[in-house]
């Protein structure tokens, strides 16, 4: 432990965010890195505690506490403080294939479980991770390292999101020949088109893709496996196939008037917005400038829609959430180191408050009806208030309508960000793999092998909608299983 008293000497400091009214003028990342000296002092706050919950990745209270990748957080925090940056980078990359992604978009499960957070503020692990990886690039330490020996085995990966990329990276390091098929025009899956530029600029993905290609990974874009490319052709050409197609089947809102013009799924809205940001082309772009925008859904995707609509110049933005507002501080039944169930005002909501003068969120409400004008264009949304009530038979708490509580708000554009039901089924059908009731590809517990010989699955297609860090974790685990099936043993971590 480099600085035993660091957590007592230094207060937590975060990278400063550009003021909301300034940052909404573009789609750039908006946190300003602090001085190296200050960042190392932040790393010195790490207590190197006897039980590092930050790296545990275990289930507590029905939620994950700590990093699912089991990142060696105390070790690389200590190395960062001591100035051993290259060793810190090596330690970071030992468990995480893509810290350049997670240090930007992860909700920092490690920080929520930090021992410092029990009586004080947690260590700024996410920002420290960001410094380590970006400093590694600046110092020229992130050069391609192609394997010196090839096994002669070939693996196809369908989907280039976090799980597909992690599996590709691991299997290529092992010496297998890996080809990744992506149906879109760029790799990255949700990293590319599901997460806006202000959270993850796309040159970050391009930079990593270039290194992976130099290391020997093959990428094929505009390749829709299950439609243009036949499943049987991949099974003939490759020794193993891994399906990492994500959970891209959006949950719909089945309310009267759903057919009105002006209602879109959030994933389509964010995808088209990113394409417009990258190319400047307006083909298919969903422009919300001067419109009343209603976002249905309170998660990260909903917040991303709010931030994007604010940047486009929406006249107003309202975000509708079914659940009650969470408390400002941990409740007694939500103790540390459980994930804190507290109210979070994210960047999009901060920007909406700055621009429109109020929090955009309406809690405990849902859509009762979409109302269109005579031409079929959406003009308003009828909402209804909800209240929590316990089901007498199951004991579960459900959100039920409050009688006579309907109210209307103007809406020229509705963005449905209500989550995902699971994977689109055409790839699963093409390979003949079984899916469960949630439309996720089914495997035995603890395994990634499907019911079809030589076909594996990982990521959201396997576990359902989840975090980038879980996608990476599953990609690493499926790589181990595939490697063992090909070689009879595995030395992958």
Residue 143 belongs to a domain: no
Q: How confident is the model over 242-272, as pLDDT tens digits?
A: 999 999 889 999 999 999 999 999 999 999 9
Do 261 and 175 share a domain, yes or no? no
Q: How confident is the model over 83-139, as pLDDT tens digits?
A: 999 999 999 999 999 999 999 999 999 999 999 999 999 999 999 999 999 999 999
Is 355 in contact with 347 (CB distance < 8 Å)? no
pLDDT at residue 150, as a whole number: 98
Do 346 and 442 share a domain, yes or no? no
- pLDDT > 80? residue 2: no
Work out the percent of the chain whose per-residue pLDDT is above 90.
Answer: 92
- SS3 of 309, please? helix
Residue 147 belongs to a domain: no
CATH code assigned at 295: 3.50.50.60
pLDDT at residue 395, as a whole number: 84
In terms of phi and psi (left: phi > 0; alpha: psi -120 to 50; beta: otherwise), the region of 372 is beta
Token readout for 190 is 């949700």
Query: What are residue 31's phi and psi, to 5 degrees?
Result: -100, 130
Do 377 and 290 share a domain, yes or no? yes
pLDDT at residue 358, as a whole number: 97
Do 294 and 376 share a domain, yes or no? yes
Residue 148 belongs to a domain: no
- pLDDT > 70? residue 1: no
By residue count, the chain amounts to 493
Do 460 and 413 share a domain, yes or no? no
Residue 129 belongs to a domain: yes
Token readout for 166 is 């992690």
- pLDDT > 90? residue 459: yes
- pLDDT > 90? residue 175: yes
User: Structure pTM?
Assistant: 0.96
Do 18 and 130 share a domain, yes or no? yes
Poorest-pLDDT segment among 97-111, 415-429, 474-488: 415-429
Do 258 and 234 share a domain, yes or no? no
- pLDDT > 90? residue 424: no
Picking from 109, 138, 167, the residue at the C-terminal end of a domain is: 138
Picking from 89, 107, 138, the residue at the C-terminal end of a domain is: 138
- Output DSSP code: residue 439: S
Do 257 and 388 share a domain, yes or no? yes
Name the H helices within 118-182.
Answer: 125-138, 162-174
Q: How confident is the model over 59-99, as pLDDT tens digits?
A: 998 889 999 999 999 999 999 999 999 999 999 999 999 99
Kind of pairing between the strands at 292-296 and 413-416 = parallel
Do 22 and 105 share a domain, yes or no? yes
- With cut-offs at 50, 70 and 90, classify the pLDDT of residue 3: confident
- pLDDT > 90? residue 394: no
Do 207 and 292 share a domain, yes or no? no
**Which residues form the domain of 444?**
154-248+421-487
In terms of phi and psi (left: phi > 0; alpha: psi -120 to 50; beta: otherwise), the region of 470 is alpha
Mean pLDDT of 368-383: 98
- Residues 6+ positions from 351 with CB-CB distance below 8 Å: 20, 23, 24, 306, 307, 310, 311
C-beta neighbour count of 284 within 10 angstroms:
10
Residue 1 belongs to a domain: no
Place of tokens 């909903």: 302
State the first-to-last Cα distance of the chain, in angstroms, to the nearest integer.
Answer: 26
How many structural domains compose the chain? 3
Residue 145 belongs to a domain: no
pLDDT at residue 115, as a whole number: 94
């Amino acid at each position: 432990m480099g600085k035993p008293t660091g957590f007592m000497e230094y207060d937590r400091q975060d990278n400063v965010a550009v003021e909301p009214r300034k940052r909404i003028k573009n789609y750039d990342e908006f946190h300003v890195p602090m001085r190296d000296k200050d960042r190392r002092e932040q790393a010195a706050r790490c207590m190197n505690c006897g039980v590092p919950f930050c790296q545990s990745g275990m289930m507590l209270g029905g939620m994950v506490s700590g990093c699912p990748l089991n990142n060696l957080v105390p070790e690389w925090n200590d190395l960062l403080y001591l100035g051993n940056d290259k060793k810190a980078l090596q330690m970071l990359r030992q468990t995480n294939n893509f810290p350049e992604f997670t240090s930007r978009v992860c909700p920092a499960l490690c920080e929520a479980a930090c021992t410092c957070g029990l009586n004080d503020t947690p260590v700024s692990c996410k920002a420290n991770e960001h410094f380590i990886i970006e400093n590694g690039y600046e110092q020229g330490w992130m050069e391609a390292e192609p394997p010196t020996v090839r096994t002669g085995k070939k693996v196809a990966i369908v989907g280039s999101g976090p799980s597909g990329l992690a599996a590709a990276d691991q299997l290529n390091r092992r010496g297998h020949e890996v080809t990744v098929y992506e149906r879109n025009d760029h790799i990255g899956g949700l990293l590319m088109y599901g997460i806006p530029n202000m959270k993850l600029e796309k040159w970050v993905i391009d930079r990593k893709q270039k290194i992976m290609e130099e290391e020997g990974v093959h990428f094929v874009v505009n390749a829709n496996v299950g439609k243009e490319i036949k499943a049987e052709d991949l099974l003939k050409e490759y020794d193993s196939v891994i399906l990492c197609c994500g959970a891209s089947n959006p949950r719909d809102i089945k309310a009267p008037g759903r057919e009105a013009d002006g209602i879109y799924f959030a994933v389509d809205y964010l995808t088209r917005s990113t394409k417009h940001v990258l190319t400047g082309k307006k083909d298919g772009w969903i422009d919300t400038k001067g419109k009343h925008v209603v976002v249905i859904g309170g998660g990260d995707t909903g917040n991303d829609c709010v931030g994007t609509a604010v940047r486009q110049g929406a006249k107003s933005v309202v975000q509708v959430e079914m659940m009650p507002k969470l408390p400002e501080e941990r409740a007694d039944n939500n103790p540390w180191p459980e994930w804190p169930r507290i109210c979070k005002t994210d960047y999009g909501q901060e920007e909406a408050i700055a621009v429109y003068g109020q929090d955009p969120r309406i809690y405990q409400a849902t859509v009762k009806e979409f109302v269109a004008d005579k031409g079929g264009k959406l003009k308003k949304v009828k909402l209804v208030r909800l209240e929590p009530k316990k089901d007498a038979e199951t004991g579960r708490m459900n959100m039920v309508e409050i009688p006579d509580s309907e109210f209307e708000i103007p809406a020229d554009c509705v963005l449905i960000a209500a989550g995902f039901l699971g994977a689109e089924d055409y790839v699963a059908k093409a390979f003949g793999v079984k899916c469960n009731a949630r439309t996720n590809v089914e495997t035995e517990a603890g395994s990634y092998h499907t019911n079809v010989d030589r076909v594996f699955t990982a990521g959201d297609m396997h576990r359902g909608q989840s975090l980038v860090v879980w996608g990476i974790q599953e990609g690493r685990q499926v790589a181990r299983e595939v490697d063992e099936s090909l070689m009879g043993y595995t030395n992958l971590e």
